Structures are given as C-alpha cells and as structure tokens.
Homo-oligomer: A and B are copies of this chain.
Amino acid sequence: MPAPRIAIVGCGAIGLYYGGRLAHGGNEVHFLLRSDFEHVRAHGIRAKSIHGGFSVSPVNAHDSGSSIGACDYILVALKAIANPALPALLAPLLKEDTLVVTLQNGLGNEEFLAEHLGPEHVAGGLCFVCINRTAPGVVDHSASGLISMGEFGRPAGSRLRALEAMMRDSGIECRTTNDLASERWRKLVWNIPFNGLSIAAGGIDVRAILAEAGMEALVRALMAEVIAGAAAVGHCLPESLIEQQVEVTRPMRAYKPSSLIDYLAGKPVEVEAIWGEPVRRATAAGANLPRLEMLYQLLRSLTTRP
C-alpha cells in the first residue's frame, strides 16, 4: 500500500505549521501555494514552536493543483473568504475516497464543501492554537497546538483516524470527535470575543483586552452568549468553558488573533463565517444575543468601508 498523499491548500500560519509538521514527520505532503510559491520552493518552511522548532527543506511546493494530482487527504487552510475559488482548486486533487479536512474558522465551511464535493468527502478540524505567519514560509507557534477533527454529519471513521495517527506520529497534539458541529461552537467561544474585540476595540491584542476589567467582563458576556447560541441550535457546552477559556488566554500575552492581523494588513476578515453565520443560526433558533449581534454589525461596518 503506497504512503498516503496529503495536500495542504492555503499556506498561511495554519497550513504551514500543520503541513510542515506532517512533512517533517516523514509523510508525503504537497503544498499548494500562490504568492509564496517561489519563496517556499527555494527556502522551505521554518517554524519556531513552543514544542521545539523545526524546518522542512526542500518541500513539495506547487503553484497548481494539477501538478499535485490526486491525494488521500486535503487540509484546507485558506480563509473562508476564499471559498468561492475552492471547488476549482480542489478538483485536480480529488479521487473517490479523498477526505477533505477544512481547518477554516467559523461556521458554514463543511456545508459549502459538502454541497460542491459531496458530504462523504468532508471533514473538519478545529485548531486550538496560537500561530502567526511572520514571513513567507515562516511561522511562530506560541501557544497550545491541539487539533480536534471530526467528519461532517457522522462519527469519525477509519480515514480520519488514520490521519489522526499520522499527525500524532508527527508531533501534533490531536484528537477526533464524533460531534464536529459542537466542536466548532466550542472554538467560537474563544474566536468570537477575542478575534472580534481585538478589532472593534481598536486593534488591541489579547493581553490588552484582558488588562481592563470592563473588557474582560465583556469577553465573558460574549462567551456566555456564544454558549447560549450553541445551546439554541442543539450543542450543549459547559458554562465552565468561560473561566477556562479566559484563563488559557492569559499566558498568550500579546498574541494578536488572526482576524486582527488580517484587519491591520488591510486583508478581508472572515466576518460572515465567524460572526454572521453563528448569529443567523442561533437567532433563527430563538436565541437572544444582543452583544454578539452588535459585535457582528460593528465588524461588518469596520471591514466593509474603504
């Protein structure tokens, strides 16, 4: 049996880090790049990491899917903003049993892929991790690292468990879940307040957010609303998550959430995936989420103006 072929689509912080770990672990990993193609082909990938830095060179760098060909696994690490381009990007990489694992943030990504590729191809992963891409091919992994993966609308199967084993063997903290949808909401408990307030409060990092009591209270109130929203659509998350997520954030110090980095760089922010879709789903199910709706409105306004 030939070794599994893995494609990484999207080589920002998440794609470089997890793809780099898998390649460093001896797996056959192909990176589909765009702007950083020449640089990564020439210089490979370098990672600073709290779990020990590593570098990969040469890497299998590609600027088109057709030069990669069919893969067993595709990890999607593009911003959700780029989804309309995704079906065409993925087409040359697909075979009958390819598993596409979207590592994107927010809600709606599995549904989008299922619609275009068929649900049997679709899985998702939540990256509970602090990683920033600091230069082309270079990442800085500063906290956490767990990736939690599940299949779309069904329990984790053998393909996903095999990927989990490869990840673990490559030094990635990894688990599978039979309830991917709940796990997505669990991640939103952090992303919604911290990514959102980092922008809405004027471009501040997580340390600055937690430095002020009123702001920390707002973080907690937003987390409670996300938990209430999750409950409205059938996902029961414990209230204790609030305290735990605040405490896990303190050691991150001056970490800038990815949405803030995009915003400050003038790049599109995943407003609909992270804030819009959760608001729509939860309010349609009867939840009352005044702060979350307000944050969504402000972020829409802040990110759609010139």
Contacts and interface: CB of A to CB of B under 8 A. Distances in A.
B214 A302 contact: no
Residue from A295, A296, A297 with most neighbouring chain B CB atoms (10 Å): A297
Nearest to A200: B298
Interface string A277-296: 00000000000001101111
Contacts of A202: 301-302, 305
Nearest to A301: B201
A293 B219 CA distance: 12
A241 interface: no
A218 B294 contact: yes
Contacts of A295: 294
Q: What copy number does this chain have within its complex?
A: 2
A221 interface: yes
Interface in A186-223: 197, 200-202, 204, 208, 212, 214-215, 217-218, 221
Contact of A291 (B214, B217, B290, B305): B290
A298 B221 CA distance: 14
A300 B214 contact: yes
Contacts of A301: 201-202, 204, 212, 215
Contacts of A300: 212, 214
Given A221-B290, A290-B291, A291-B291, A297 B214 contact: yes
Interface of A: 197, 200-202, 204, 208, 212, 214-215, 217-218, 221, 290-291, 293-298, 300-302, 305
Given A208-B305, A298-B298, 19 more contacts: A197-B298, A200-B200, A201-B297, A201-B298, A202-B301, A202-B302, A202-B305, A204-B305, A212-B297, A212-B301, A214-B297, A215-B297, A217-B297, A218-B293, A218-B294, A218-B297, A221-B290, A290-B290, A294-B294
